[in-house]
Structure 1
Amino acid sequence: MLDISIIRDNPEKFDKALLSRGAEAMSQQLLTLDEARRGAVSQAQELQTKRNETSKQIGQAKAAKDEDLAKKLMDDVATMKEQLQTAEESEREASQALENALAAIPNIPLEDVPIGTDEDANVEIKKVGTPPQIENPKQHFDIGEELGQMDFEIAAKISGARFVVLQGQLARLERALANFMLDTHTEEFGYTEVVPPALVRDDAVFGTGQLPKFKEDLFRTEEGFWLIPTAEVPLSNLVREQILDAEDLPLRYTAYTPCFRSEAGSAGRDTRGMIRQHQFSKVELVSIVMPEDGEDELERMTNCAETILQKLDLPYRVMLLCTGDMGFSARKTYDLEVWLPGQDSYREISSCSLCGDFQSRRMKTRYRHKGDKQTHFANTLNGSGLAVGRTIVALLENYQDTQGRVFIPEPLQPYMGGKTHIEIYG
């Protein structure tokens, strides 16, 4: 959520930033709501001050034995009590109206984020690795089905479209990748491993920005819980409604969880295979830092995700997303796109974002320096380290051979019981 003072200070700059994200200019509407809220606050404060002063005058009148004045003043206080209740209700309504409006507005991009409406305006930062030369490369779903270890038909019978059943060595590969990623992030980069809930409450999803605007992208139980679309939600909310010690920052968390997305609006896109599913697994990275460390932490987090691709020797590129392609809560985002020979293209496998204080304002997450009474909103970051299903896709397509086997990169072999290849019924 944005700080209204930023909009007050420079409404033109704020509107320009919204327009760059494909949103409507909102400064005048928000400032009108803010003015109404401030007026209601002022009226309530004035009534409270007047009531307090009148209450003192009652005591003075009684001390002077002026019963008529005391009675009149008491009647005035009773009237002011009713007026104050009305004013306080108006203040609550005005504050809620402003908060509701702010809650639907996306974050403001940093100055170095390219302006554009869609992915065509994203900027390639670098390419790493050389795509393998494979004659007539197959796509991952053909490879998986031929191995007899990837089944979309049985998954459809069990759950419907956009689900998959992995068996045998492909099932073990998912577990191996998760362990490999977690070990790398905890042992090499100092992240704290967490096993969070996969069901969360409204406040948690609101805190990271999925609610209220994107509820159609989520799954909800009849009991009112939301299935997490990413572990970003529970990991970020580990510090909700807390005042952290500045000396304890940065905090870095990682988790391997299932993720659930309705894929609203994606009809007809990636209908075959594991690229876009309702349920998938991901290793998530979340950081809580001081504002001055946010941009450096984004570079660090992106490097952590890149390291997984480098260790697996998978070709990839780093893209700086434009204003129109960033997520709702992000100020700046890097996408890592892995090369898929079967598709003859790069596809997203990780997205690392700096959110500034956008989420911490929604979660009421602050920090304080030792000996200082003043608190400040923290900065939050999140990224995939990596999407496990898409990593399986990349491994199958990049390491396929002419014999119908798939080579297992050396860093994964200890997690796969020493096997070097995935084979039919392996």
Structure 2
Amino acid sequence: MKNSTFADKNNFNKTKGLDKLNLKEIEPEESIAEMALPWQEASSLMIVSKAPLGEVVGKRLDSIVGAAVGIPSTAKSQTNDCGYKLLMVKRSGRSSYMANAFVFPGGIIEPSDFSSQWWKAFEKVGASRESLISQLCEVKGPRPPMIKAPNTVERFGLDRDHCLPADIAFRIAAIRETFEETGILLVTAVAKTQPTSASFVKQDSLHLNLSQWRKMLRKDPKNFVQLCLESKVCPDVWGLYEWWDWLTPTSVGHRRYDTMFYLCCLDKQPSDVVLNRSEVITLKWGTPLSFLDDFSCSKIFLAPPQVYELSRLMNLMTYQDLFKFASERRDKGVERWMPVLCTTADPDGGMLSLMPGDDMYPQEPDLHGNGSSKDLSATLSELKTQVKNQHHVELQGMLSRVFCNIKPPCGQLQPLTYRNPKPAVQSYL
């Protein structure tokens, strides 16, 4: 991935056959090395729920009254004004990766997510293979390597001619993992033909023991397709909107993941969430700013990708605006970003997590971790004046903030810089 252009905007599938299914032959630059990658593929789901009307109206009235009596506006009032909430779950302290961190639900891609049996589940609700490919796979914008040539297919020796396209399989994985971790089951009994909010079921609406099905899924992910076939439903892949692709930096832990982030919107917050406490120990619904507030006060821990995405979402304050943005951006594609970590000269410690587009981001990032980390001779404050194009997460201790003064690709939102206790403002304006 080149720093100068992010990615070739014309680098997407235009041909028929395997190319149309996003399962094309590996291109020379992806090479054999891409088939033995030092990371696993994963899907993550950013679940957005419309805030109850009474809660939104009440808090906005509080803000209006406060302004009338001279109480200054703060970041807290912006939090109250947000018309939606996100779901985040706290990983178990026993987790080998990101222990105790608050993350979006999700997990590793399984071979069964590509199973051709899924075509039967979709057909039962009236969705043809051709319509699914047309609606979800023919994206005009950039396609990351995990979509063009999913390593899971190669690693498990799956039959590429009969596999689901990665665009569909990764959505199924995100829905399956979310069900396992939270009990929220995003399925539909009717095929959809246009952008829509996601459908979810209550614990008793399918007349099935969903708790038992979750146990079966943890034993064998193949049981997810059986659940859907028996219930005559299918994963609501239409309700998931592609958001971004994050690759774990080479210097973070002993496990790395190439993770596709999806966003889905729910008209109502699920009330019967049941955690899988072997993986996650608690959950939290909150606004983007409230999560960053808690993080700044050390109440929760957030990894840089979560900080980045929450900072992006601070641009949108209503549920309607967020849904409109996600649905209208669905055809613009995503790129794979691998942050590059480097230390600074700050005496009390400091680091930068560089993103593509930053002047300090390498032209050829070391995807496989064969090189050494970079040490910068300047402090964080000095770099602010020395670097023109800035696109990074600044880390000091446990706190991290996004700084971005460039326009992101693929029609994505430019993240706002969190400034506590002042309102969030655009970086470097």
- Report the TM-score when normalising by structure 1: 0.21
The structure that is helix-richer by fraction is 1
- Report the TM-score when normalising by structure 2: 0.21
| Bigger Rg, structure 1 or 2 | 1
